[in-house]
Amino acid sequence: MSGQLVILNELLRLAVRPRLATVTKPGEARRDFDLFSQFFLRLASDVTHTVEPGRPPLHRFSPGAVKGSHVIMYFHGGGYMAGSPRTHAALAGALARASGCEVVLPDYRLAPENPAPAALEDACAAHANVLDRVGAPDRIVLGGDSAGGGLALSLLADLCARGERPAAAFAFSPWVDMTLSGASLRENADTEAYLPANRMELARDLVIGSLAPEDPRVSPLFAAFEAPPPVQIHVGRSEILRDDARAMAEHLRNAGGQVELDERPEVPHAWPIFCGYVPEADETVASVARFLGRA
């Protein structure tokens, strides 16, 4: 474990997790995330960022001369209630630089103002826009972190059912089970550096609206996957969502998919967002780029 990761984990345990355990309004969490990203998660100067208006707006990140053959559709995390393409601009830029591909982040609607399935509806609309531009579904790769990882996998199930199978998908610490059945939610409640386990049920209830927790539109662990493409999943062994990742990998394999599950010790939830600060984050981004090179 790098020294940078040791420091990051302590900062998260001392400052971020206590704040998440006490914040009562989604708007407060959004402001916190926005302020943090403005100061610490800045886009590299050699990556271009443009915004295409629409529903939803699409934020495009390009590493200059695009060399990769795919377009990455990436869905930001934030528990479906916070985060935006701007909070994840640094990560989008890092993925663009490492892969040589354009990275597109949809600015999907957030709960509780827009509960599920609003995020998935926006994801489908964004995919239709990107598909119209690139011309073939196998030129698109899906990705995301945390709730955004779950959203990417819900979209993947929908696309496979409609015959629009993407080239591949990847997810960092995906939240895929709104029934909250994973044993790691209890087993890792103390080792998790970032997310407070005792707030997950409240967050879930604000997100799902009138949907049942096992509805595949918000819990892709219960979705049917028809001939899924290769999928790479990254998770920390000490995370409360560790078992979400493990169960999702097994579910995809049972559907006939090829799945790479990378479990890392001691990393916090959705650690690739700290790329540029923590070597473990940079290594995971590089792993995704290698994975996409094989897709």
Q: How many CB atoms lie within 10 A of CB 197?
A: 19
Q: 235-273 in b/e burial notation, b at 16+ Cβ within 10 A?
A: bbebbbbbbbbbbbbebbeebebebebbbbebbbbbbbb
Distance, C-alpha 164 to centroid of its chain: 21
Beta strands 231-236 and 168-172 are parallel
Mean pLDDT of 229-257: 98
Q: What pLDDT does residue 18 have?
A: 94
Mean pLDDT of 135-140: 97
Mean pLDDT of 93-97: 96
d(CA 4, CA 10): 10
**208 by DSSP, 3-state: which?**
helix
Residue ranges per structural domain of the chain? 3-294
Q: Which amino acid is at 166?
A: P
Q: What pLDDT does residue 67 have?
A: 77
Residue 210 has pLDDT above 90, yes or no: yes
d(CA 219, CA 17): 24
* Structure tokens belonging to residue 123: 């994801």
Max Cα distance, the chain (Å): 48
Residue 40 has pLDDT above 90, yes or no: no
Angle at 222 between CA 238 and CA 269, to 5 degrees: 20
Q: Which amino acid is at 242?
A: R
**60 by DSSP, 3-state: which?**
strand
Residue 98 has pLDDT above 90, yes or no: yes
Residue 271 has pLDDT above 90, yes or no: yes
What number does CATH give the domain 3-294? Answer: 3.40.50.1820
